[in-house]
Amino acid sequence: MLLPAFKHLTTMLCMLILMSSAYAVTVQDSKGTFTLDHTPQRIVVLEFSFADALASVGVAPIGIADDKDKSRVLPAVQEVIGDWQSVGTRSQPSLEVIASLKPDLIIADISRHESVYYDLQKIAPTLILPSRRETYSDNLKAASIIAKVVGKEQEMTDRLVQHQQYMDSIAQQLPDHAILQFGVARADALFLHTDDSYTGGVIQALGMQTPISERDDSAYRQTSLEQLVALNPEYLIVGHYANPSIVDNWSNEPLWTVLTAVQNNHVYRVDPNIWSRCRGILAAEHIANDLLQIFSEQ
Amino acid sequence: MSRLFRSVSLGLFLCLGLLLISWWNLFAWSVVPVSGADVLHAFTSFNDQTIAHRIVLDLRLPRLLTALLVGACLASAGAIMQGLTRNPLAAPSVLGVNAGAALGMALVSTLPFLYGALSTSIAAMLGGGVAWLLVMLLGSTWRVGANEHGRLVLAGVAISALCAALTKAVVIMEEDQAAGVMTWLAGSLADARWQTWQAFWPVALISLIGALLIAPSLNVLQLGEDNARNLGINLLRSKLLGSLLVLMLVGAAISAVGSIGFVGLIVPHIARLMFGQDFRLCLPVAMIIGALLVTLADTLSRAVTYPMETPAGAILALIGAPFFIYLVRKRTL
């Protein structure tokens, strides 16, 4: 007598579980179709751009591959997400630490982590997207995909509209079509970020231009002083990773004074971590603010 | 008489070639247009408002001078090594000196606790010295009568591989510095400035003069160790002095422009082919040919992926690797 009633109850329970898992979300990532049947709560990200995307919709990852240096995470991102556990460097994240965090979603970079993709999948469902050498529009696309997976699709759509409006409002206060070159300087090499780079894309989104060169096939291009003289940008913005950097050394050379940007005092220093490493919606807005400050001080 | 005439005319021909290539190096494949006439005007009637003149005097000239001296240093280092070990395959890049110097330099430029403790050139010399010592011990060159070509080269290859692996590990651990170390490992003259030249030429010049001075004892060493000892040569002293010179030559060159291989291997052979076995004649000729080869490689390094730079070391490896295989295959060593 009791048995059929019990059966009925289990059927109903099963249906309930099925209904909740019918929530499953499917997106296209760099390896094909990615499906997740739950809203992730414990997320580990292996690049700063992914942390930025999560922070933009108010989600906090529990672990970040932050190169064991918390200051590398954008301050605006830190404000939203609070504290997190470091899972090692972006180039060599520690699989053990990631596993010990018991994540239910890992977000990895196709450029850096393709070789450990299958190992990551054994730990938790892994969403793999472009980050290193990505463009500005790639970055925004990746942010939308991440938001959909974490169940914040609508929030991200609103956030992107707001972002677009913010960038447009800054663009109106910046000079149109100014030719601006950004680069990061290490102790012995200068790498210019071309129009195919993330920062190049942000500069263009702000209504300015990056210099056109004959050979633009990579995001970052190592450049000698001579090539810089040939490029001769109107404004030169440099993030120094070293002190003194190669650009500091160049500034003592007579040839440096030939540059238009030098003659007009249009050479500026910015934080290379924010301009080059962070990448994301919040990072782009930080770059926009930096540029606004640079141009309003003139 | 005809032999003397042949040597003198060959020598003049080489010097003329060196002069022409140097001039070509000063203007060829410039991103900012520079003509051959600009080069001459930069020296005769310098105008500091002309960008081409500035490029010639501020960028090209120190780069050319460094290339010339680096070539001379590496070629004579190779010749001395081949003389000391009586092994035609001996060269700084084959016997681990380059790889050891690279490791030394990578260590001081990436490990925080080593920052500033050693200058990069001293680190390069120390690394090269330790690597070479290990190769000599493994190859058992100090044992009397043991002079197996293959053993020494194998030891060199093994130590080079070890050093390269360690260098790679250091680079992976300190990814931020990786780009700089990589550029440096490939060996490029693109960043050679007056500063580089000023730090480089005194050590290089002293070592080159030293190399010319030990040429006679290298000649005696070629007769075999027993004969050399009988002729009153202090074997240990000449070997130590020769080794020290090699380390100074290679260390100075490597700390100026990075790791450039194969010059030390190829050039002494060409010099011997043209001028015979006498080190007193061979060494200075090897210096000229080395200078010529590196300058040529540097000029081409601007052409290959114009307007970007290809490391000159890569161009030399392209020429050098087949030559090395040829030498190994040739049985009449």
A212 and chain B in contact, CB less than 8 A: no
Give the whole-angstrom CA distance, residue A141 versus residue A1. Answer: 57
Residue B322 lies in a domain: yes
Strand A25-29 relative to strand A32-36: parallel, antiparallel, unpaired?
Answer: antiparallel
Among A38-52, A107-121, B69-83, B129-143, which is the least confidently predicted range?
B129-143
Could you tell me which of A284, A49, A47 has the C-alpha nearest to residue A162? Answer: A284
Query: Which residues on A lie below 8 Å from B309 (Cβ)?
Result: 222, 224
pLDDT tens-digit readout, B92-103: 888 899 899 888
Q: Which of residues 35-74 of B touch A (CB under 8 A)?
A: 48, 51, 54-55, 58-59
Chain A residues close to B180, C-beta within 8 Å: 186-189
C-alpha pair distances (Å), A63 with each of A47, A95, A119, A133, B238: 10, 12, 17, 22, 61
Kindly list the residues from chain B whose CB atom is less than 8 angstroms away from the CB atom of residue A214. Answer: 307
pLDDT at residue A19 is higher than 60: no
Token duo for residue B125: 């010399």
pLDDT digits (tens, 9 = 90+) for B168-214: 888 877 766 666 677 778 888 988 889 889 989 999 999 999 999 99
Check pLDDT > 90 for residue A28: yes
- Whether residues A241 and B48 touch (CB distance < 8 A) is answered with no
CB contact under 8 A, B191 and A188: yes
Record: contact B109-A187, CB cut-off 8 A = yes
- Is the Cβ–Cβ distance between B249 and B209 less than 8 Å? no
CATH number at residue B81: 1.10.3470.10
Query: Which positions in chain A touch B51 (Cβ < 8 Å)?
Result: 229, 255, 258
Residue A201 pLDDT > 80: yes
- Average pLDDT on A147-162 reads 96
User: Which of B31, B51, B184 has its CB closest to that of A227?
Assistant: B31
- The answer to whether residue A91 neighbours chain B at the CB level (below 8 Å) is yes
**Domain membership flag for residue B26:** no
Q: Using the predicted structure, report yes or no on whether residue B113 has a pLDDT greater than 90.
A: no
Residue of B122 and B265 predicted with greater confidence: B265
Q: At what angle do helices B235-257 and B194-213 cross, to 10 degrees?
A: 160
Whether A22 has a pLDDT exceeding 70, the answer reads no
Q: Does the beta carbon of B179 lie under 8 angstroms from any beta carbon of chain A?
A: yes
* Chain A 37-76, residues with CB within 8 Å of chain B CB atoms: 67
Give the range among B19-23, B60-64, B72-76, B218-222 with minimum mean pLDDT: B218-222
Residue B140 lies in a domain: yes
Chain centroid, CA A41 distance in Å:
21
The answer for A 71-90 residues in CB contact with B (under 8 A) is 89
- From chain B residues 187-206, the ones with a CB under 8 A of any chain A CB are 190-191, 193, 195
Mutation for B interface: A224, A252, A260, A273, most B CBs within 10 A: A224
Q: With a cut of 0.90, is the ipTM above it? A: no
Round to whole Å and give the CA distance between B105 and B130: 13
The angle subtended at Cα A156 by Cα A154 and Cα A162, nearest 5°, is 110
How close B34 gets to chain A, by Cα (Å)? 11
Check: CB of residue A185 under 8 Å from CB of residue A276.
no
Residues of B in contact with A194 (CB under 8 A): none
CA distances from A54 to A163, A217, A282 (A): 15, 30, 10
Give yes or no for residue B26 having a pLDDT over 90: yes
Q: How far apart are CA A89 and CA A68, in angstroms?
A: 6
Evaluate whether A196 touches A212 at the Cβ level (below 8 Å).
no
B308 and A227 within 8 Å at the Cβ level: the answer is yes
A245 to chain B: closest CA residue: B180
Q: Are B183 and A241 an interchain contact pair (Cβ–Cβ within 8 Å)?
A: no
A268, two tokens: 């500026």
Tally Cβ neighbours within 10 Å of residue A24.
Answer: 10
Asked whether the beta carbons of residue B179 and residue A186 sit closer than 8 angstroms, the reply is: yes
Q: Which of A48-57, B103-112, B146-155 has the highest mean pLDDT?
A: A48-57
Asked if the structure places residue B45 within a domain, the reply is no
For B180, the closest of A186, A226, A253 (CB atoms) is: A186
Count Cβ–Cβ pairs < 8 Å, chain A vs chain B. 64
Tell me what pLDDT residue A177 has: 84
Taken in order A232, A234, A238, A243, is the CA torsion positive or negative? positive
Q: How far is the alpha carbon of B255 from chain A, nearest alpha carbon, in Å?
A: 13
DSSP classification of residue A172: H
Res A251 pLDDT > 80: yes
Q: Which residues of A touch B58 (CB under 8 A)?
A: 253-255
C-alpha distances out from residue A284 to A32, A203, A237, B164, Å = 28, 9, 15, 39
Q: What mean pLDDT is predicted for residues A72-78? A: 95
Q: What is the per-residue pLDDT for A101?
A: 96
Q: Which of B12, B6, B4, B14 is nearest to B289 (CA)?
A: B14
Identify whether B9 is part of a domain. no
Q: Quick check: A15 pLDDT over 70? A: no
State what percent of residues in chain A have pLDDT above 90: 75
- Residue A175 carries which DSSP code? P
pTM of the entire predicted model? 0.82
Label residue A12 by pLDDT band (50, 70, 90). Answer: low
Residues of chain B neighbouring A258 (CB-CB closer than 8 A): 51, 54
- Domains of chain A in start order, with CATH, are 23-152 (3.40.50.1980), 166-296 (3.40.50.1980)
- Arithmetic mean of pLDDT over chain B: 87
The answer to whether residue B331 scores a pLDDT higher than 60 is: no
Q: Which residue range(s) make up the domain with B308?
A: 57-329
Q: Is residue B290 part of a domain?
A: yes
**Torsions phi, psi for A148 (to 5 deg):** -65, -40
Write out chain B residues lying below 8 Å of A222, CB-based: 179, 183, 308-309
The number of distinct structural domains making up chain B is 1
Average pLDDT, chain A: 90
Residue from the list B55, B58, B176 with its beta carbon closest to the beta carbon of A241: B176
- Distances B48 to A225, A264, A267 between C-alpha atoms, Å: 17, 18, 22
- Quickly state the pLDDT bin for A280 (edges 50, 70, 90): very high
Check CB contact of B169 with chain A, cutoff 8 Å.
no
Yes or no, beta carbons of A91 and B175 under 8 Å apart? yes
Q: How far apart are the first and last CA of chain A?
A: 87
B16 domain-assigned: no
The mean pLDDT value for B37-49 works out to 88
Per-residue pLDDT at B138: 86
Q: Would the pLDDT of B286 be above 80?
A: yes
- Based on the number of CB atoms within 10 Å of its own CB, is B45 exposed (0-12), middle (13-18) or buried (19 or more)? exposed
Identify which of A91, A92, A224 has the shortest CB distance to residue B190.
A224
Classified as helix, coil or strand, A29 is strand
pLDDT of residue B145: 54
- Residue A227 at interface with chain B, using a CB cutoff of 8 Å: yes
CB A57 within 8 Å of CB A29: no
How many contiguous H segments (helices) and E segments (strands) does chain B have? Answer: 15, 0
Average pLDDT over residues B78-89: 89
Over 80: is that where the pLDDT of A6 sits? no
The residue with greater pLDDT, B126 or A156, is A156
